[in-house]
Amino acid sequence: MAGYGRASAVALLGLSGVLVQAEAVVTAGLSRFSLIGLPDTGLSESRDRVRAAVINSAISWPQTSLTVSLAPASIRKQGSSFDLAIAIAVLRADGKVRPAGLSETVFIAELGLDGSVRPVRGVLPSVLAAARAGYEKVCVAEDNLIEAEQVTGVSTIGVRTLRQAVAYANGEPIPDEPSVPVLPRPVPSPSPNPDTPDMADVLGQFEARLALEVSATGGHHLFLCGAPGSGKTMLAERLPGLLPPLDERAALEVTAVHSLAGTLHPAKPLVTEPPFCAVHHSATVPALVGGGAAVIRPGAVSRAHRGVLFLDEAPEFGRVALDSLREPIESREVVIARSAGVATFPADFLLVAAANPCPCGLAMSTHGACTCSSRSRSAYLGRISGPLLDRIDLRVDVSPVGSTELLAAAAGGLASESTAQVADRVRQARDRAVRRLRDTPWRLNAQVPARFLRTHWPLGADSLEGAEQALEAGVLTARGLDRVLRVAWTLADLAGRDRPGRTELDTALSFRLSTTFHSGAFA
Amino acid sequence: MSLFIPEIDYDDARMVRLMLSRLIEPDDRLFAALREVAAPAEMLRAILERGWSPPDWPAQLVERLEGRRAGMELKLPGADPMADLAAGAAVGARFLIPGDADWPDSLEDLGERAPFGIWMIGRFDHRAPSVAMVGARQCTPYGALAAAKLASQLARADVAIVSGAAIGVDGASHRGALHAGGATVAVLACGIDRSYPASHTELIQAIGQRGAVFAELPPGSRPTRFRFLSRNRLIAALGMATVVVEAAVRSGSLVTARLAAELGRAVFAVPGPVTTRESTGTNRLLCDGAIPAVDGPQVLAELGIEESSPVARRVEKSDTPSAATEIDPRAALVREALPTARSGRAAPVLTLAAETGLAPSEVLALLGRLAGLGQAVRTGGGWALGR
């Protein structure tokens, strides 16, 4: 067919990709260029980029009527990743590039006006979609190459310029091109820190260290309360290191999310360690759970998938924003419905919420006197809604490390356990839990419904004595008891015991969120 | 008018009393007066045989009996003692009369107002201590909590809780006793084979399995306003004391309390807020000399159950926090090391471990135990004494 050409690309909706054909037809008539097939505004700009890139690559532009259609036309398409496929389709229609053979290549890249090929977000999920659709060859920008290579079973090629892409599509030797001045890419927030924070840096903090270990083992969400400078952030940052490294499937899942969010580090495009995502309290609902009108982007909960979501100054967050976390915590995924379609992002994270004990932060601190009224102090933590607190199993109060501990550490004594030592215990305890839960749909103690725990592994009256007294004294609610039970099982897993005893139950009691806490009566 | 007159053996005390309880409403004043001079068999014969009466009966009472005859004769066609026994047996109930081993002797304290007989499901040791708990059906959460807590503390000391299986305070008292694994007794204002209120069907079943359910009315009887009031005298009699938890000024619970006082039983009232309608009756009782009921050990002490008796010790062990920590000297040690909440200070676990010489993990578990008793709290920087 004369004057017709096509090339493949991928349209992403959330993390799921659909293969799209860019079809181009050159017909006699006035010189014009129309792009059809539900493109959004950003994609319509593609016409200008493609034309400029072709002309600046010293290839002639067809001076006739040109129509490019993105099929299937019913799917809304967004972003700049179709540029390269459109250019190849046009050049094929014009006879400058030979038609697609039997084994087609998928083109995923943006074009610069100078003919350069630029990286885009979401390459990993796009390549995964291509592989799943049976395509074997993918052409991406050179800067996206490492990310694209993470998908097995697909041969990938990275190009710097449109000329290289044309040569590749024609099966010719690829010309060497001067490296394009690297565009300053937005610096991704969770950049892999060269020195990962280690538990050995945490001095003292017996309870907080234990709470981190329990949280990492059983998947229990954590609440840290303490004056500024008591090390809440420092502790939270060390939680991902205690989690087991991501297996291959999890790594691809996490990388795909970060690719779409644009937070992948170019030098280390496969996320293999559990991510840490800290959110500022000004965050909106879309920033937390994901969203966006035209382009649906994953939110913080998905960037923290398989890792840790840290909310510092939790009471300062908007109530609506905090409550939006309830659904992802329950279902471990986020479903975002927009006119363009419904996107699902994974959101299986450990929540660490931190708060000062009062608005000025000085209550219980040794540095100064608190200036808050008792009313504002008790109302402060009450801002976190009860339903969210209901999902948090562990509460720890932290105070700044005492001078004795600092001096002892300076003198070389009092060495704290390292991340590696603790993580090893966590791994063994997790194995125990997985063995015990092997015939159930759950893998972590925090996921197991309390009713199941009670009916399948009932505990002796003597271990429950303390909890019963707490129930009677009205300090513990029935729901609080469920949390205590789950944490006690995790403590038993860590201690290598078959079932929790009195010590585990009592320790779990000490971690419970007090019932008076939410109603505002907070000492 | 031809009358159906069943053949009755007036020497069979059980049959006589079955018939009487079928024909006569509970706590009938006329028959209470007759009982001073007549035996049950004579009363039944006077009802069944027109014109027959023992010569020594006061003429005035015979006259009143004649006036009531028409009403009682209407009930005769439905009076079938054997059918009643079968209906009772179908739900596992027996009909007890004085002299039976299980007959609660405390009912005799009612004198001429004692029931002719009583239907019972389950077991009831009438020689063991028992406390009646009554109160408002429309109680406040405070009333429900107070009732449940007191009932569970008393039940743990092997005191049976007697109440009326109604919603509100009654239900909370039964549940508290059941929760503590103790015995509890429900006295129904309807037939033993019915459950009233219907929403308490399961509760009444549970009471029958773990304690006893009593009913004075024959099987199939429906509850009425007067039957609730007459039932209250049995509750007052079955308990060695009566505790009123929340009652408005005009309330059936106050009737029970007055009856209990007339029977020589101790009357307790749970003090309530002076601002709520539901506590006006109980607070008035307190003004009139009722004993305040604060918690299990206090009520037991007032009842004269010795501190040193095994019963009282068991209550103390599980319910008074100070006693619990005295059991574990290590917990007391940790508590001693805690700063007071008002001091504005808080102690982290490591500091407490250093002060007590215990391992940090041990300190944390002990803190959990103390926190469960409300004796230690997290304060935003560490631990302090609970208030």
Mean pLDDT of B108-117: 92
Q: Are the Cβ atoms of B368 and A225 closer than 8 angstroms?
A: no
Higher pLDDT, B32 or B343: B32
The token duo for B277 is: 């309608």
CA atoms within a 13 Å half-sphere pointing along the CA-CB vector of B377: 19
**Is the Cα dihedral A161, A165, A166, A167 positive or negative?**
positive
B317 in contact with A at a CB cutoff of 8 Å?
A: no
Is the domain of B183 the same as that of B233? yes
Is the domain of B271 the same as that of B289? yes
pLDDT, position A295: 73
Comparing A207-221, A272-286, A406-420, B340-354, which segment has the lowest mean pLDDT?
A406-420
> Has residue B226 been placed in a domain?
yes
pLDDT, position A22: 93
Please give the residue range of the domain that contains residue B161: 105-315
**Scanning every residue of chain A, which has its alpha carbon at the shortest distance from the alpha carbon of B324?**
A469
Chain A hits for B377, Cβ within 8 Å: 514, 523
Q: Is the pTM of this model over 0.90?
A: no
Q: Which of the four pLDDT bands, split at 50, 70 and 90, describes residue B347?
A: confident
pLDDT value at B316 more than 50 = no
Q: A187: buried, middle or exposed (CB in 10 Å: 19+, 13-18, 0-12)?
A: exposed
Kindly give the pairing relationship between strand A105-108 and strand A137-141: parallel
Mean pLDDT of A298-317: 92
Is the domain of B304 the same as that of B324? no
pLDDT, position A399: 78
Minimal CA–CA distance to B269: which of B239, B299, B297?
Answer: B299
Is the domain of B201 the same as that of B65? no
pLDDT value at B352 more than 70 = yes
Q: Which of the four pLDDT bands, split at 50, 70 and 90, describes residue B324?
A: very low
What residues contact A356, with CB distance under 8 A and at least 6 apart? A225, A226, A227, A228, A313, A315, A363, A380, B380
How far is the alpha carbon of A435 from chain B, nearest alpha carbon, in Å?
Answer: 26
The token duo for A241 is: 């290191």
Q: Which of the four pLDDT bands, split at 50, 70 and 90, describes residue B240?
A: very high
The token duo for A256 is: 């795909």
What does the alpha-carbon distance between residue A43 and residue A105 come to, in Å, rounded to a whole number?
21
Kindly give the pairing relationship between strand A350-355 and strand A222-226: parallel
Chain B hits for A523, Cβ within 8 Å: 341, 377-380, 384, 387
pLDDT, position A492: 94
**Scanning every residue of chain A, which has its alpha carbon at the shortest distance from the alpha carbon of B386?**
A523
Higher pLDDT, B118 or A265: B118
B141 in contact with A at a CB cutoff of 8 Å?
A: no
What does the alpha-carbon distance between residue A320 and residue B260 come to, in Å, rounded to a whole number?
56
What does the alpha-carbon distance between residue B155 and residue B165 come to, in Å, rounded to a whole number?
16
pLDDT, position B322: 42
pLDDT value at B2 more than 80 = no
Q: What residue type is assigned to position B221 of the chain?
A: S
SS3 content of chain A, % helix, strand, coil (to 5): 40, 20, 40
pLDDT, position B342: 67
pLDDT, position A69: 93
Chain A hits for B341, Cβ within 8 Å: 523
- The ipTM (two decimal places) reads 0.72
Q: Are the Cβ atoms of A475 and B341 closer than 8 angstroms?
A: no
Q: What residue type is assigned to position A151 of the chain?
A: V
Chain B hits for A395, Cβ within 8 Å: 378
pLDDT, position B16: 92
Q: Which of the four pLDDT bands, split at 50, 70 and 90, describes residue A517?
A: very low
What does the alpha-carbon distance between residue A436 and residue A496 come to, in Å, rounded to a whole number?
12
**The last residue of a domain, from among B78, B96, B131:** B78
What does the alpha-carbon distance between residue A414 and residue B71 come to, in Å, rounded to a whole number?
93
pLDDT value at A82 more than 70 = yes
Tell me: domain A4-169, CATH 3.40.50.800, correct?
Answer: no
pLDDT, position B348: 83
What does the alpha-carbon distance between residue B123 and residue B134 come to, in Å, rounded to a whole number?
21
The shortest CB-CB distance from A397 to any of B350, B369, B381 is to B381
The helix or strand, by DSSP H or E, that contains position A300, with its residue range, turns out to be helix A300-303
pLDDT, position A405: 63
Residues in chain A: 523
Comparing A17-26, A30-39, A239-248, B84-93, which segment has the lowest mean pLDDT?
A30-39
Q: What residue type is assigned to position B254 of the chain?
A: L
Is the domain of B262 the same as that of B187? yes
pLDDT value at A340 more than 80 = no
Is the domain of B305 the same as that of B237? yes
**The last residue of a domain, from among B43, B78, B113:** B78
Going along A45-123, which residue ranges are E strands? 65-71, 105-108, 110-111, 117-118
Is the domain of B44 the same as that of B163? no
What residues contact A249, with CB distance under 8 A and at least 6 apart? none
Is the domain of B156 the same as that of B263? yes
- Domain ranges in chain A are 4-169, 221-392, 416-523
Mean pLDDT of A165-176: 89
What does the alpha-carbon distance between residue A103 and residue A245 come to, in Å, rounded to a whole number?
36
- pLDDT tens-digit map of A473-493: 777 777 788 889 999 999 999
Q: What percent of chain B has pLDDT over 70?
A: 91
The token duo for A333 is: 């995924």
Stretch 350-369 of chain A: residues touching chain B, C-beta under 8 Å: 356-358, 363-365
Q: Are the Cβ atoms of A503 and B348 closer than 8 angstroms?
A: no
**The last residue of a domain, from among B282, B297, B315:** B315
User: Residue A38 has what DSSP assignment?
Assistant: S
pLDDT value at B327 more than 80 = no
Mean pLDDT of A71-89: 89
**Scanning every residue of chain B, which has its alpha carbon at the shortest distance from the alpha carbon of A370?**
B344
pLDDT value at B71 more than 50 = yes
Q: What is the DSSP secondary-structure string of A145-186?
A: HHHHHTSTT-EEEEESBHHHHHHHHTTPPPPP-PPPPPP-PP
A10, A17 Cβ separation under 8 angstroms: yes
pLDDT, position B314: 41
pLDDT value at B365 more than 80 = yes
A310, A276 Cβ separation under 8 angstroms: yes
pLDDT, position B379: 77
Mean pLDDT of B330-334: 84
The shortest CB-CB distance from A365 to any of B361, B368, B381 is to B381
Site from B349, B355, B366, B370 to mutate, A interface, most A CB atoms within 10 angstroms = B349
Minimal CA–CA distance to A215: which of A279, A310, A288?
Answer: A310
Residues in chain B: 387
What does the alpha-carbon distance between residue B53 and residue B70 come to, in Å, rounded to a whole number?
17
Mean pLDDT of chain A: 84
CA distances from B374 to A469, A502, A514, A515, B335 (A): 10, 18, 10, 11, 11
Q: What percent of chain A has pLDDT over 90?
A: 36
pLDDT, position A330: 87
Comparing A94-108, A359-373, B347-361, which segment has the lowest mean pLDDT?
A359-373
Tell me: domain A221-392, CATH 3.30.420.40, correct?
Answer: no
Q: Are the Cβ atoms of A397 and B380 closer than 8 angstroms?
A: yes
Q: Which of the four pLDDT bands, split at 50, 70 and 90, describes residue B360?
A: confident
Higher pLDDT, A111 or B74: A111
pLDDT, position A262: 83
pLDDT value at A368 more than 80 = no
Higher pLDDT, A195 or A51: A51
pLDDT, position B308: 39
Is the domain of B270 the same as that of B121? yes
Q: What percent of chain A has pLDDT over 70?
A: 89
A321, A285 Cβ separation under 8 angstroms: yes
Question: What SS3 state is found at A311?
Answer: strand
Comparing A217-226, A316-325, A362-371, B258-267, which segment has the lowest mean pLDDT?
A362-371
The helix or strand, by DSSP H or E, that contains position A32, with its residue range, turns out to be strand A32-36
Kindly give the pairing relationship between strand B241-245 and strand B266-269: parallel
- pLDDT tens-digit map of A29-61: 888 899 988 788 777 889 999 999 999 998 888
> Has residue B87 been placed in a domain?
no
pLDDT value at A397 more than 90 = no
The shortest CB-CB distance from B364 to any of A207, A227, A475 is to A207
Q: Are the Cβ atoms of B368 and A397 closer than 8 angstroms?
A: no
Secondary structure, 3-state, chain B: CCCCCCCCCCCCHHHHHHHHHHHCCCCCHHHHHHCCCCCHHHHHHHHHCCCCCCCCCCHHHHHHHHHHHHHHHHHHHHCCHHHHHHHHHHCCCEEECCCCCCCCHHHHHHHHHCCCCEEEEECCCCCCCEEEEEECCCCCHHHHHHHHHHHHHHHHCCCEEEECCCCCHHHHHHHHHHHCCCCEEEEECCCCCCCCCHHHHHHHHHHHHHCEEEECCCCCCCCCHHHHHHHHHHHHHHCCEEEEECCCCCCHHHHHHHHHHHCCCEEEECCCCCCCHHHHHHHHHHHCCCEECCCHHHHHHHCCCCCCCHHHHHHHHHHCHHHHHHHCHHHHHHHHHCCCHHHCCCECHHHHHHHHCCCHHHHHHHHHHHHHCCCEEECCCCEEECC
pLDDT, position A412: 56
pLDDT value at B215 more than 70 = yes
The token duo for B310 is: 């095994």
What residues contact A107, with CB distance under 8 A and at least 6 apart? A7, A8, A9, A84, A85, A88, A138, A139, A140, A165
The shortest CB-CB distance from A473 to any of B360, B373, B377 is to B373
A8 in contact with B at a CB cutoff of 8 Å?
A: no
pLDDT, position A181: 57
pLDDT, position A180: 58
- pLDDT tens-digit map of B154-166: 998 889 999 999 9
pLDDT, position A382: 77
C-alpha of A155 from chain center: 27
> Has residue B235 been placed in a domain?
yes
pLDDT value at B320 more than 50 = no
pLDDT value at A521 more than 60 = no
> Has residue B83 been placed in a domain?
no
Higher pLDDT, B266 or B381: B266
User: Residue A194 has what DSSP assignment?
Assistant: S
Chain A hits for B351, Cβ within 8 Å: 402
Chain B hits for A476, Cβ within 8 Å: 372
Q: What is the CATH number of the domain that holds B337?
A: 1.10.10
Q: What residue type is assigned to position A118 of the chain?
A: R
pLDDT value at A515 more than 90 = no
Q: What is the CA radius of gyration of chain A?
A: 28
Comparing A227-241, A336-350, A429-443, which segment has the lowest mean pLDDT?
A336-350
pLDDT value at B48 more than 90 = no
**Is the Cα dihedral B171, B175, B178, B183 positive or negative?**
negative
Q: What residue type is assigned to position A87 of the chain?
A: A
A472 in contact with B at a CB cutoff of 8 Å?
A: yes
pLDDT value at A145 more than 70 = yes
Neighbours of A456 (CB within 10 A): 11
Q: Are the Cβ atoms of A364 and B341 closer than 8 angstroms?
A: no
- pLDDT tens-digit map of B366-386: 988 888 887 888 877 788 887
Paired with A298 in beta bridges are A290
Q: Which of the four pLDDT bands, split at 50, 70 and 90, describes residue A367?
A: low
Minimal CA–CA distance to B291: which of B150, B153, B113?
Answer: B150
B325 in contact with A at a CB cutoff of 8 Å?
A: no
Is the domain of B122 the same as that of B207? yes
Map tokens 């490591």 to a residue.
B350
CA distances from A128 to A106, A153, A267 (A): 11, 10, 20
Is the domain of B221 the same as that of B203? yes
Q: Are the Cβ atoms of B371 and A512 closer than 8 angstroms?
A: yes
User: Residue A412 has what DSSP assignment?
Assistant: T
- pLDDT tens-digit map of A86-102: 999 999 999 989 888 77
Number of domains, chain B: 3
The token duo for B84 is: 């009643």
What does the alpha-carbon distance between residue B12 and residue B24 come to, in Å, rounded to a whole number?
18
Comparing A184-188, A218-222, B302-306, which segment has the lowest mean pLDDT?
A184-188
pLDDT, position B68: 85
Mean pLDDT of A330-349: 86
pLDDT, position B268: 95
pLDDT, position A384: 80
Is the domain of B311 the same as that of B329? no
The shortest CB-CB distance from A510 to any of B341, B368, B387 is to B368
Going along A261-416, which residue ranges are E strands? 276-279, 290-291, 297-298, 308-311, 333-338, 341-346, 350-355, 394-398
